[in-house]
Amino acid sequence: MKILEVKNLGFTYENYEKPVLNGVSFSLQAGEVLGISGSNGSGKTTLCYCLCGIIPHCLSGKMDGKVFIKGTDSGQVSLHQLTSDVGIVLQDPGIQILMPTVEDEIAFGLENQRVPREKMKEIVNETLDLVGITPLRGENPNNLSGGQKQLAALASVLALNPSLLIFDESLSMLDEMASQRILFVMKKLKDRGKTLVIVDHTSRGRGLYDKIFLLGRAKLTGTNKMTKENEITLSPG
């Protein structure tokens, strides 16, 4: 089953002339893991925003092409509707954490989805356990270290059980222990058949990838070209 399909995607931020993304096309089947690598400013985060619906729903600019998540055009449904199918752990997870405790944060999305209270408790406990942060459940997320915040953000996304998970540099800014924990969770998700997009310029996650997408520094043309190593290479246009 095709979970993600990107067709001729382009994006130019409002009041800018040059596109950050141009002609990007690829698709991912259920259970596939895509690694995205590329230099600073090459458009990795912008691509992640397009893949989860933040673009076009929350950021202004000109989007070309289409992103289909489980067959649904991301521009045609609300961001809220997309959250049950796609979750993102942002490069700066502090932005996405809103609640006073870690467990409230994990429960927040479930409350929005009107999950019954008992079921919610069960999911919160399971997710805390999976991510390895049960001892942090009562902590204020603002007081956590960068790595712990990353794990809390990941837990709040996982609780919603999306088919597609996007990690924007989740492995880059962490100490060895936290990044090993995130890698462990990614591996579990892969085993469970989730589709993952992992932005990573450290190569820490390399063992998990089925494909790698290299974003060039210059304007991009999507070629969806597979190399010997099963890499998708975007050549500068």
Ligand X SMILES: Nc1ncnc2c1ncn2[C@@H]1O[C@H](COP(=O)(O)OP(=O)(O)O)[C@@H](O)[C@H]1O
d(CA 178, CA 37): 20
Choosing among Mg ion, ligand X, none, which partner's interface includes residue 42 (Cβ < 5 to 8 Å by kind)? ligand X
- Minimum CB distance to Mg ion, residue 131 (Å): 22
Question: Which residue lies nearer to ligand X by CB, 30 or 79?
Answer: 79
Say how many residues make up the chain: 237
Question: Which residue lies nearer to ligand X by CB, 107 or 196?
Answer: 196
Q: Does 45 bind Mg ion (CB under 5 A)?
A: yes
> Is the separation of the CB atoms in 195 and 1 below 8 Å?
no
Q: Please give the helix or strand (H or E) that residue 72 lies within, else none.
A: strand 72-73
Any long-range contacts for 218-224 (C-beta under 8 Å, 24+ apart)? 219/18, 219/19, 219/22, 220/21, 220/22, 220/23, 220/24, 220/43, 221/22, 221/23, 222/6, 222/8, 222/9, 222/22, 222/23, 222/24, 222/25, 222/26, 224/25, 224/26
Question: How many other CB atoms sit within 10 Å of the CB of residue 45?
Answer: 18
Choosing among Mg ion, ligand X, none, which partner's interface includes residue 43 (Cβ < 5 to 8 Å by kind)? ligand X
How many amino acids of this chain bind Mg ion (CB under 5 A)?
3
Question: Which residue lies nearer to ligand X by CB, 121 or 201?
Answer: 201
Q: Does 156 bind Mg ion (CB under 5 A)?
A: no
- Minimum CB distance to ligand X, residue 195 (Å): 20
- Minimum CB distance to ligand X, residue 44 (Å): 3
- Minimum CB distance to ligand X, residue 43 (Å): 4
Question: Which residue lies nearer to ligand X by CB, 140 or 221?
Answer: 221
Return the closest-CA partner of residue 24 out of 221, 225, 231. 221
Question: Which residue lies nearer to ligand X by CB, 40 or 142?
Answer: 40
Binding site for ligand X (CB under 6 A): 13, 16, 20, 38, 40-46
Residues within the interface to Mg ion (CB under 5 A): 44-45, 91
